[in-house]
């Protein structure tokens, strides 16, 4: 009987130790998550203040330059273009 009690006690201690380690691990992970959130917030705040040409000025406006070339091709240079050659020459002052 005492062997059985020792085995049960040892299993109970192991279970408590696993729970303690799991709780400690969760605390550490929660602290790391909070630090990460704080770092991202600080970086975001730093980036917000550095936008614009001068301190205190409005931030630069994103004018979607990446899509301009695609739109130009679709509007003027494909076989089923939106505008004719005359429109292109008039808008861009080209001969």
Residue 24 falls inside a structural domain: yes
Residue 71 domain-assigned (yes or no): yes
Cβ(48)–Cβ(59) below 8 Å:
yes
- More reliable by pLDDT, 53 or 10: 10
In angstroms, the Cα distances linking 69 to 60, 61, 74 are 21, 18, 9
Q: How many domains does the chain have?
A: 2
Cβ contact 31:23 at 8 Å: no
**Residues 43, 2 share a domain:** yes
Distance CA 43, CA 48 (A): 9
**pLDDT the model gives residue 14:** 95
pLDDT of residue 69: 76
- Check pLDDT > 80 for residue 30: yes
Same domain, 47 and 1: yes
Q: Give the domain extent around 20.
A: 1-51
Enter the pTM of the model: 0.40
- 60 found inside a domain: no
For residue 66, pLDDT beyond 60: yes
12 and 42 fall within a common domain: yes
Note whether residue 58 is domain-resident: no
């Amino acid at each position: 009987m005492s062997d059985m009690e020792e085995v049960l006690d040892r299993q109970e201690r192991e279970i408590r130790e696993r729970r303690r380690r799991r709780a400690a691990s969760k605390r550490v992970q929660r602290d790391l998550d909070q630090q990460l959130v704080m770092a991202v917030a600080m970086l975001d705040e730093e980036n917000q203040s550095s936008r614009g040409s001068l301190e205190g000025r409005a931030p630069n406006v994103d004018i979607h330059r990446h899509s301009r070339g695609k739109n130009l091709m679709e509007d003027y240079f494909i076989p089923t273009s939106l505008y004719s050659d005359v429109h292109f020459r008039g808008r861009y002052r080209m001969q």
